[in-house]
Copies of this chain bind each other. A is one copy, B any other.
């Protein structure tokens, strides 16, 4: 295993265990039996290292979602199972999920555009399903891509309430998640109401 990968591994371990601020270059170095400065031969700086971890996590999420997809069922069912897969992944790998949102594009000015390809792929996937549902007159949407972003935003919002432990203690997580999913999906399907 190259030193670069070694560094990525131990960084991730520290990041998941203690959070970004506690993951220091020196600690990473020590765990990799190397000096802190060596890390700078493989990564521009700490942010750059974080970025590499973000990439990994996005790729993993991408994979999970694709694997959960069954194209033979109805678009509504596809959306539901994707939402489930997303939530499950986030709750089972909370820190890993949160890595994805640790860095914001604006703060990474010269971040190569292709690196966002992975996440864009997911949006295209969602948009595709929504488009199919739209054609079958199941979904009430104006623009599938915009709706894909909306869908993801909503699910992320719901997930982050749980992960941030911000949910009212009187409400069980599962109940919240289940009702939230209903609301979200409901918001996309066609309204048959006459007026």
Contacts and interface: CB of A to CB of B under 8 A. Distances in A.
A161 B183 contact: no
Q: How many copies does the complex hold?
A: 2
Interface in A79-94: none
A56 to B, nearest CB: 18
Interface stretch (A26-34, A70-78, A150-158): A150-158
A104 B164 contact: yes
A19 to B, nearest CB: 9
Given A157-B155, A187-B184, A191-B186, A150 B179 contact: yes
A166 B107 CA distance: 12
A43 interface: no
A105 B186 contact: no
